[in-house]
Amino acid sequence: MAAAGRLRVTLAQFTAAPADVRANLAQMLSLLAAAAGDRPDLVCFPELCLSGYLLDPESYGSAVLAELTDAESELEAAARKQGVRVLYGTAQRTDGGLYNTVVLTEPDGSRTRYAKTHMVASERAVFAAGQELVLAASGELAVGCCYDLAFPVFCADLADAGARALFFPMAWEQQRSFVFEGVAAARAIENVAYVVCINQTGACGMTKFHGGSKIIDPLGRTLADMGDAAGISTADLDLDWVTRLRSAADTATYPLLSDRRRQMAVRRGGPILQGLNEAVSNTLSGTLIP
């Protein structure tokens, strides 16, 4: 973690070519080098950026998976040489299943891996679902992936576990981008956390990606928004400020985590609609209910 609880993050947004691992790696290495001038602590890439957004299970044969492993090693070696962490998306076969995986590396060579939990039907036809939440950097950072952002409990559980910044590599399409745009700031506000979204842009076959990679602070303010342009954008995260906000030492927002009630029972009331329908029916027939 950067000194004094600060983290400088660079977003690296681009279009990944399906099944062209070498071309994708070349783009990532170029963006990593371009980020060096900003002196980031962490450079973030999109979901499935090494493999491309490839939803054909037959395409993930042993040769492609081996190529992905080699590409990971090259990317991480370049990041170590530059002295930065990298966050990126790839595909990984383990325990008999193929997983849509997000990897966060440390300069010392260690890795944190997260298997995507929430997936749309076309992804579920290819990838097995992950079964655990993942924190990194001594619990300061949480790793999600794309559609995970849409689920409040997923994000709340990460914040409750202590994460002060939530990271989401994405391949979010343009067609339903209103979901992404509508919930990103809400997730930051309700969890008093930074939300960092790194999306693909451009088109992949019939899929047009939304871009819109962004960094949102705990008050819901946008620190960076890349629109649909490929390239990089850098912003600073003050993780100690998150702690002050959550403890109410800074009263700029509510201490939402400590005020949040959890695991409440559900009680079902009576058939309200049935009662209203009966009232309307009796009124129309000229019978008023006192």
Q: What is the pLDDT of residues 45-99, one digit of tens each?
A: 999 999 999 999 999 999 999 999 999 999 999 999 999 999 999 999 998 899 9
The mean pLDDT value for 131-155 works out to 97
Cα–Cα distances in angstroms (integers) from residue 53 to residues 16, 92, 93, in the given order: 7, 13, 16
Indicate whether 280 pLDDT > 70: no
How far from the centroid of its chain's Cα atoms is residue 114's Cα? 11
Q: Please tell me whether residue 267 adopts helix, strand or coil conformation.
A: coil
Termini Cα distance of the chain: 68
Question: Whole-prediction pTM value?
Answer: 0.91
Report residue 287: phi and psi, to 5°.
-105, 115
Show the domains of the chain with their CATH numbers. 3-259 (3.60.110.10)
96-124: per-residue pLDDT in tens? 899 999 999 998 889 999 999 999 999 99
pLDDT of the residue at 47:
98
Strand partners, 202: 209
